[in-house]
Chain A
Amino acid sequence: THKMGETVDTLERCCVSLSVNPSRGLMDEKFIILVQKALPGFQLTIHASYHCEDGNSWEAFAHYTADAGGTVNVSQDTSLGGTYSGVEAMGLLWSLRPVPGSKPGLRLRKKNVQTPMEVTISVYQGHQTEGFVDQVPLASVLVERWYMAPGVCRIPITEEGLTATLFVPAGNGPFPGLLDLWGGGGPLVEYRAALLASHGIASLALNYLTPKTTMETGKMVDNQYFEKAYKFLQQHPQICDSRIAMLGLSLGSAFTLKMAVYSQVMKLRCVVCIGGSHVQPVDGSVEQVLGYMEKNSEKTRFTENNEMIWRDLLLPIPTDPSFKVDVGRLKCPLMLVVSEDDQNWPAPESAKDMKEMMERAGNSHLLTVLSYPNAGHLIEPPYTPHVRISMFRTVVMALWGGQMVEHSRAQEDAWKKILIFLRENLYDIKRNVRAEIKNTYFSSR
């Protein structure tokens, strides 16, 4: 029977102990994975498994050898191979990849932020690379990774014709506020706003491409839509009306920069743009900005696997000022997060041009540029997997660029610095911002 015949296996299984601390953490918190009571020199594989809401499975694994004390500490020991190598405390999360046999072009994005991402961390005997699902692990723990800290409230917003979700931190407030704009990829994405609220910033994830009004009338929103979102934050009883920031990724950066410079209504405390550009018809609405890119779509290039490279659509950087947001007029601090292998937007070229514009205008002291070699377009909160390509709007395969290790380091570093930047500008913390984050040219060597 099951119990009779397994004495030796049972002893071994009983021996090895596995712990992950914290077992419930925020998505951007580090954890410590510890294997103990193995035999000295014991070869083992640590495996991570995650089943997505969309039904796909992701896994990561790494090969270790227990030390003289029978211990493996993932934060200190070297992985000898697997989906990552070297000393990588969080490698089991950022090196997750779809299991063999999965559809191509998958991307790991949590839709429901009110439940945690549940990752199973297991230990297997020997250095293995496949067939984990058919084996019984020596030990296994379940780890929860949360976008929402305890007490954070999620509130869907439909007032004023807005389609958005507000995340309010725990506590009585008032809190600084933030307007969060995602890229052109699709439906409303909430997780970054949820995580920012977990760090004390009331954040509004705004759907500006497919809000209810557009779905019903077929008309895209105008620039006043962003101002309405800003005013909503200002008037909220738990948000401080004079401490509001804006953060945009990819296409969202375009509107973030436009509103930061030209809006008479929006008085932003600071602005963060990730993987974006200032190149657009400056008087244009959302529809016209998209139209401008459409017009240049013949500049699309293709990889040998037919993945689309869109970075040339906005190149070369125009000299005509009606096609570039005049960042020389910006009155608040701006942080640009730039990936040097961005195959989707010409972020490095745009950042260079913006720097020059601000130097000529005399406001370059407001600018901070974080630039990451070998990072791709999608700089997301840390410890989620890098995807070099994925399906874009379920229709085409887009090339984002980046190499896994450097991209993952970039995500971790950028997020830390974005949080410091936001905190210092939204809370007026008197610290030498320059000394902390400066113009960073991140070296992966």
Chain B
Amino acid sequence: MWSKCRWSTVMFSFLHRRSSVMSQTPPIVSVLPTRGLVDEKFKVLVENLPPGRPVTVRSLHHSDNGHYWEAFGFYTSDHRGTVNVSKDQSVGGTYTGKEPMGLLWSMCPVPGSHKGLRLRKLNMCSPMLVNISVHSGHEGFRDGAPLASVLVERWYMAPGVKRIDVQEKGLLYLFSPGPFPGILDLWGGGGGLVEYRSALLASHGFATMSLDYLSCGQPVFTYVETAFNFIKDHPQVIADRVGVVGLCLGSLPALYLAADSTVVKVVKQITSPLLLVSGCDDQNWPSFETAEDINQTMRAAGNDHLLSRLDYPDSGHLIEPPFSPHFRASTFVTTNKRKAMILWGGKTKPHSDAQEDSWRKILSFLQQHLCCSLNAKL
């Protein structure tokens, strides 16, 4: 159980009586909701400031692997002494303009951190803890203690979602009682078992399995097919409502399954609806060019009615669930255990907008094709 009390003590270790400061009536910062899913928006409100006061609203997160990430925006309180992050303009910081979720997606490692860090939650069963605080002034806001702060939880797993270890196959996230449409979730070439998107998809009502298909020691496509069948046959899954989500390298097995894997894989034999999401500034994979090519092939084959595309200018390779920070580059351990800095591409604001927009459309696509409506059937 994560220790919220210890968090407060570690972060603010200068507890002493400050009644003279309090007599100036501190501001009140509130966030709604205080506990939300990672793809839910929140509202950050600061009240009881003197009017016209420059303040910095800051987020701080201590990641599972021990690094500190922060984001901040510069604001000025209005005539009522209020700053409303959802409505007001940030005039500087890690984001500018009217950005309700800027305190999350514009996070970057705090000054002095290693280069090439990437923020990824490892333990799905506990929330991401983000401290939202308000500080006096703009430049130099770090010099003083926060005027007020609040702790916010961001969850990948909704209440009731269960994480089940499926031996040698991956992790199945279920939400009782079922039955549910199913999803096979395939990550990229970074390897390992990446759980967070599966957890989030389960929170949206899909029984989802993350699969580590790179270190299984079997031919990838066979292994992926076995996993797909496992999901289909699961008693809590509706057999004819199973889809596949693939990122990066994972899109190859996904396409393979979409083309009915009992035959040689070719795009023109795809028989299921297909959604391609591409970042046009993807420096890792030629995803835009690939999407164009798939489009042309399917058009020639007469099955392009199955294809939907989302192309995002100035977005990089790692289109992740919304409000996660953007990394233009990060360190990557290659198959022969060498560390390299990989350029993923993208500019922060367009990339963050792409994450938010694509996630909504991915969920909608999955719901449309996996959760039928009776009207459509009749």
Contact = CB atoms under 8 A, between A and B. Distances in A.
A316 B127 CA distance: 56
Contacts of B372: 11, 14-15
A254 interface: no
Given A10-B179, A14-B372, A174-B21, A23 B149 contact: no
B145 interface: yes
Given A151-B150, A242-B19, A37 B35 contact: no
B16 A23 contact: no
Interface stretch (B54-62, B101-109, B151-159, B313-321): B151-159
A329 to B, nearest CB: 26
A172 B12 CA distance: 6
Interface string A393-429: 0000000000000000000000000000001000111
Interface stretch (A137-145, A300-308, A381-389): A137-145
A349 interface: no
B4 interface: yes
B159 A143 contact: yes
Interface in B166-198: 176-177, 179, 181
A69 to B, nearest CB: 11
Interface in A163-198: 170-174, 198
Given A3-B239, A10-B179, A29-B33, A174 B22 contact: yes
B7 A37 contact: no
Contacts of B133: 171
Contact of B35 (A24, A140, A142, A200): A24
Given A13-B179, A150-B151, A429-B48, A144 B33 contact: no
Interface stretch (A233-241, A274-282, A358-366): A233-241
B334 interface: no
A423 to B, nearest CB: 8
A171 B375 CA distance: 51
Interface in B284-311: none
Given A2-B235, A17-B205, A153-B5, A174 B18 contact: yes
Interface in A64-101: 70
Given A17-B205, A242-B19, A428-B25, A146 B35 contact: yes
B246 to A, nearest CB: 24
Contacts of A70: 373, 375
Given A29-B33, A173-B15, A242-B19, A151 B8 contact: yes
Nearest to B35: A24
A428 B47 CA distance: 12
B37 interface: yes
A420 to B, nearest CB: 12
Q: Which of B4, B133, B372 has the most CB of A within 10 A?
A: B4
Nearest to B21: A174
B377 interface: yes
A328 interface: no
Given A15-B374, A37-B371, A170 B149 contact: yes
A313 B239 CA distance: 68
Contacts of B124: none
Given A11-B377, A153-B5, A238 B15 contact: yes
Contacts of B17: 174, 237, 241
Contacts of A141: 158-160
Nearest to A140: B177
B266 interface: no
Contacts of B16: 237
A39 B374 contact: yes
Contacts of A24: 33, 35-36, 153, 155, 159
Given A15-B374, A237-B15, A151 B33 contact: no
A428 to B, nearest CB: 5
B148 interface: yes
A26 interface: yes
Categorize the interface residue count of chain A. 35 or more
A23 B37 contact: yes
A25 interface: yes
Contact of A150 (B19, B35, B160, B177): B35
Contacts of B152: 150
Contact of B23 (A137, A153, A238, A242): A242
B229 interface: no
Interface residues of B, number: 56
B36 A11 contact: no
Interface string B133-165: 100000000000110111111010011100000
Interface string A4-31: 0000001111110100011111100100
B264 to A, nearest CB: 31
B241 interface: yes
A265 interface: no
Contacts of A153: 4-5, 8
B214 interface: no
Contacts of B158: 23, 141-142
A44 interface: no
Interface string B339-362: 000000000000000000000000
A322 B155 CA distance: 57
A144 B373 contact: no
Contacts of B249: none
Interface in B209-249: 235, 238-239, 241
Given A24-B36, A150-B129, A237-B15, A170 B8 contact: yes
B4 A152 contact: yes
Contacts of A152: 4
Interface string B1-15: 000110110001011
Nearest to A15: B374
A156 to B, nearest CB: 13
B364 interface: no
A240 B205 contact: no
A290 interface: no
Nearest to B152: A150
Interface string A197-225: 01010000000000000000000000000
B46 to A, nearest CB: 13
B179 A171 contact: no
Contact of A23 (B127, B151, B159): B159
A39 to B, nearest CB: 6
Contacts of B23: 240, 242
A149 interface: yes
Nearest to B9: A153
B35 A22 contact: yes
B28 interface: yes
13 contacts: A3-B235, A14-B179, A22-B40, A29-B33, A137-B177, A149-B150, A150-B151, A151-B7, A170-B151, A171-B149, A174-B19, A242-B23, A427-B28
* 9 interchain residue pairs of minimum CB distance: A142-B160, A151-B151, A172-B12, A24-B35, A240-B22, A170-B151, A142-B159, A171-B149, A150-B151
Interface of B: 4-5, 7-8, 12, 14-19, 21-23, 25-26, 28, 32-37, 40, 48, 127, 129, 133, 145-146, 148-153, 155, 158-160, 176-177, 179, 181, 205, 235, 238-239, 241, 367, 371-375, 377
Given A13-B179, A29-B33, A118-B159, 19 more contacts: A3-B179, A10-B238, A14-B179, A17-B205, A22-B36, A23-B37, A24-B159, A142-B160, A151-B4, A152-B4, A170-B151, A171-B133, A171-B146, A172-B146, A172-B149, A174-B19, A238-B15, A427-B28, A427-B48
